Structure 1
Amino acid sequence: MTRDPAVAGTVTLADVARAAGVSVATASFVLSGRGGSRSAGSAATKAKVREAAAELGYVPNRHAQAMRTGRGGGIVLTLGTLDDPWAVQLTSQVRDDALAHDLSTLVLADERWFEYLVGASADGAFVTSIDFVDGGVERMRRLAAATQTGLVAFSAVMEPESFDVVSSTPVLAIHRAYARLRERHDRVQMLAPDLGHRAGGTFANARARAFLDAARETGDGPAEQLVHVVPGGSHDTYLAAVEWLSGPDRPEAVVCHTGYQAVALRLAAARVGISVPEDLEFISIGDVPANSEFFGPISYYGVDDVFARLSSIIIGRATDREDRPGVLHSFDWEFFPGTTTRDHE
C-alpha cells in the first residue's frame, strides 16, 4: 500500500529494507548513490528496493547520507556556460552514463566552482576553467585538500595530484588550422568571443594567443587585427556574424574559437547567401555535435570520441575514490574534414 504523502517523512530506511525483503545495508547501498557496487545486489534486488522506496514515499536525507558515506549521489560539471554545444553534448553523455551508477548530473553554469564545491557533497566533479580564472591552480589544490569529492581537472598547466587531470590543449591544432586555410587564402581570421570578464580578456586566452602566434610566424598581421571579437553566446554571435559577412571586410577563411561560433557562422552564411566552402571556408576548434549541424558536418579539429572518454574518466573518479593517486589523461587533437572546407571535395 502506498504511504500517505502527509506522513512520508516518517518513513525510514529500515521500513524500505523490510518492505523489499533486504538488509538495511543493501537498501542503503542502492539508495545512496552506490548502486553500482556489488554490495547493492542484483538488478532485481535494486529494482525491489527502489520500488519499495517509491511505494512508501521514502525520501533520503542527502546531507545525512553524505556525512555518513562521503557520497552525495551526484556529479557536478563546472562548465561555465550552457551556450556551447560541446558543453551540452558532454552533459548528455555524462547524464546517460552516470544513471547506471545511480548518480545524478548537475551543471554549474558559472565560474564560482570553488565556492560551490568546497561546501558540496558531490561524488565527482569536472572542473574546466582552472587555466582561465585568477588563482585557478591554487583554488584547485585547496579544493582537493578540503573535500572528498572525486575531482577531475581540465587543464593544460596542472599535473595530477590527488585528482585526475585531462590535458587537451588545442594550441597545435590552431596552428595547423591556420596553416591549412592559409594555403588557399591570403588572409585568415579568427572569430572569437568577448572574454572581457576573464583576466586579460580575449587576447590573453590560450586559443587567441595560439592564433596570434600562428599569424606572426607566417608574417601576417598586424595579428590582433585578424581577430574578430564578438559578444559571447550563440544568438549574439549569429547576429554579429551576419553583420560581419554583410560588410565590406567580409572574411574568406576563418578559424572559429569554439564549436558554437562555427554553428553561428554557418547559419549566418546561409542567411546572407554566401556559398560555403566556395566563398567562405572555416574550421571549428573543438567538436561540433551532429544535432547542431544544420547544413552538413562542420570541419573541425578535436579529439576522437571525446565525450565518451571524458565521461568514463569523470564517472571512474566519482565511483572509485579510495586512496587512488591522480592520473594524467592526454588527449591528442586531429582534423575531421566536413563541408565547411574544401578538404572533403
Structure 2
Amino acid sequence: MRAGIGLREVAERAGVSMRTVSNVVRGTGRFSETTRERVQHAVEELGYRPNTAARRLRTGRSGVLLLAVPDLSMPYFAELAGHLLREAAGHGRTLLVEATGGRPEAELEIVLGRTDPLVDGVILSPLALDDRAAARAGSTAPLVLLGERVHDLPCPHVTIDNTGAAREATAHLLARGRRRIAVIGRQTVPHAATSATRLAGHRQALERTGLRYDETLAPPVAAYHRADGTAAMRALLDLPEPPDAVFCFADALAQGALHAVRERGLTVPGDVAVVGFDDVEEARYTAPPLTTIAPDKRELARLAVTALVDRTGGRAPAESSVLIAGHRLVVREST
C-alpha cells in the first residue's frame, strides 16, 4: 500500500469526483454499477484504505467486516477469501478473516455478534450452526451467510444451485457412456448440507436416465480433504464391480481419488472418469486436468459483500433472502 493515498488520488484515477469516491467507499448516495467498478479498480490499484478511526467517529461504523470460514487450508475457501477481500476493498471496507474449524460453538458465537467490537458485520460460511439457538438469542451484528445450507435466520444467504450443478456433473458422465457412477462426499453427520444438496442432484440425474441409486457406490466420508478422497476411492476400487466413473463433491476429494486410481495402475479417464466440484486453481494442473463444476466465486463475493454493506448501512431490511450466483461445468481431460 502506498503512503499518502487519499480520496483525491482515487478520484483522479477513476475519473470521477471525490464525492463520488466517498459515496462508493461509504456505500451511500447514488451511482451506477460502472462507476462503482471504476472506483473499485482504482481503490485496488492504488491500495487506498480509509481511516477507520475517523470513520467510526464520524459515522459510528468502523468499515471493518469479518469473514469466518471453516478452514483456510482448503483451496476453495482460500480462493473465495481472496475474492471477498478484493470486493470489500472496492467498497472501502477492511475484511478480517478467521477460521472456525467448523465448530458449532464458534459459529454460534459469531452469529451472536460476540466478535471484535470493531466489526460492523459478518460473512459466515457455517458447517454446523444451530439455527434454533441462534434465533432464540438473536443476532446483534448484521450477518450474511455463505454456502449450501439455507438457514432459518433472518439474513441474506448467498449460494449457488448446488443440486442443479451436481445434476449437470452426473449428466456429463452419463453422456460419456458411464453407467456405474460412484460419488465421493456423502456425509451422515447433522447439517451436512453440501452432501445433501449435491447427492440430491446426482440421484436426480440417475433417475432421469432410468438408473438406480446404489449406496454402495457412495461411501461416507468424514471430511472433504484429499486423504478422505483417497480412502473412499480405494474402497470403491475394492468392490466386486468397481465404478467406471466417480463424481466428487469437492476438488480436494477428486485429487485424492486420482491418487488412488493411479496407485492401482489404472488410467483416468480410460478406466475411471473423474469429476470434481469447486474449480480451484489446482484442478487445472492435476494429472490429468480435472473436469469440475466452477462456482462463480467472484459473483459469490460481490453478492455477499454488497448485501452486508447494505445491511451495515441500514439500506436493507433484516430479513432472509436467497441470492444465487452462477456456475458452469468445466470439461477437462479427466472425463
TM, length-normalised to structure 2: 0.67
Residues 84 and 259, structure 1, Cα contact 8 Å, conserved in 2? no
Q: Superposition RMSD on alpha carbons, in Å?
A: 4.0
Give the conservation status (yes or no) of the 8 Å contact 1:82–1:109.
no
CA contact (8 A) 2:184 2:219 kept: yes
1:92 maps onto 2:82 in alignment? yes
> Which of 261, 269, 279 is equivalent to 2:271?
279
1:299 corresponding residue in structure 2: 291
One-letter amino acid matched to 1:176: E
Question: Residues 243 and 48 (structure 1 numbering): CA distance in 2 closer, same or farther, change over 3 Å?
Answer: closer
Counterpart for residue 161 of structure 2 = 169
Q: Which amino acid aligns with 1:324?
A: R
Shift of 1:128: 3.0
Q: Which residue of 1 aligns with 2:248?
A: 256
2:235 maps to: 244
Q: Which residue of 2 aligns with 1:181?
A: 173
Question: Which residue of structure 2 lines up, in the alignment, with residue 333 of structure 1?
Answer: 327
The answer for the alignment partner of 2:315 in structure 1 is 324
Q: Which digits, 9 at most, give the CA deviation of each residue in 1:139-176, with x for residues without a partner? A: 66567x53233424545646995x33324122122223
Structure 2 counterpart SS, 1:334:
strand
1:103 aligns with 2:94: yes
Q: Distance in 1 between matches of 2:50 and 2:148?
A: 42
1:272-329 CA distances to partner (integer Å, 9 max, x unpaired)?
A: 33222222212123333347733353112233xx222222233334444222225642
Superposed CA deviations along residues 191-211 of structure 1, whole A, max 9, x for unmatched, are: 125x34325x69972222332
Name stretches of at least 5 consecutive residues in structure 1 with no aligned partner.
1-19, 23-33, 51-59
Report the counterpart of residue 220 of structure 1 in structure 2. 211
1:232 corresponds to: 223
Name the amino acid aligned to 1:191.
I
Q: Please, what TM-score do these two structures have when normalized by structure 1?
A: 0.66
Partner residue of 1:128?
125
Structure 2 CA distance for aligned equivalents of residues 47 and 334 of structure 1: 34
Is the 8 Å Cα contact of residues 190 and 256 (structure 1) preserved in structure 2? yes
Q: How many residues were matched structurally?
A: 283
Do 2:143 and 2:308's aligned partners in 1 also have CA atoms closer than 8 Å? yes
Asked if 1 retains the 8 angstrom alpha-carbon contact of 2:159 and 2:300, the reply is no
Query: Would you say the 8 A contact 1:298–1:340 is kept in 2?
Result: yes
**For residues 315 and 88 of structure 1, what CA distance do their matches in structure 2 show?**
16
SS at match of 1:123: strand
- Percent of aligned pairs with the same amino acid: 16
1:91 and 1:262 map into 2 onto residues whose CA distance is 22
Quick one: distance in 2 between partners of 1:91 and 1:148? 20
Larger Rg: 1
- Relative distance call for 1:142 and 1:254 in structure 2 (3 A) is same
Cα distance, 1:99 vs structure 2: 4.9
**Whole-angstrom distance in 2 between the partners of 1:264 and 1:47:** 41
Relative to structure 1, the CA distance from residue 110 to residue 169 in structure 2 (aligned partners, 3 Å threshold; closer, same or farther) is: same
The 2-side partners of 1:340 and 1:69 are apart by: 53
Instruction: Quote the offset at 1:238 in angstroms.
Output: 4.4
Q: In structure 2, do the counterparts of structure 1 residues 308 and 49 end up closer, same or farther at CA, with 3 Å as the change threshold? A: closer
Correspondence list, 1:139-178, <5 A: 145-154=138-147, 157=150, 163-178=155-170
The 3-state SS of whatever aligns with 1:180 is helix
AA partner of residue 211 (structure 2): D
SS in 2 for 1:166: strand
Q: 1:24-66: CA deviations, max 9, x gaps? A: xxxxxxxxxx994499xx999x78979xxxxxxxxx8xxxx79
Contact 2:181-2:247 at 8 Å conserved across structures:
yes
Q: Does 1:206 align with 2:203?
A: no
- Kept in 2, the 8 Å contact 1:156–1:169? The answer is no
**Quick one: distance in 2 between partners of 1:166 and 1:102?**
19
Equivalent-residue separation in structure 1 for 2:62 and 2:169 (angstroms): 43
SS of match in other structure, 2:219: strand
Paired with 2:149 and 2:213, the residues of 1 have a C-alpha distance of 27
Deviations 1:323-342 (A, max 9, x none): 2225642223322111111x
- Contact kept, 8 Å, 2:291 with 2:331, in 1: the verdict is yes
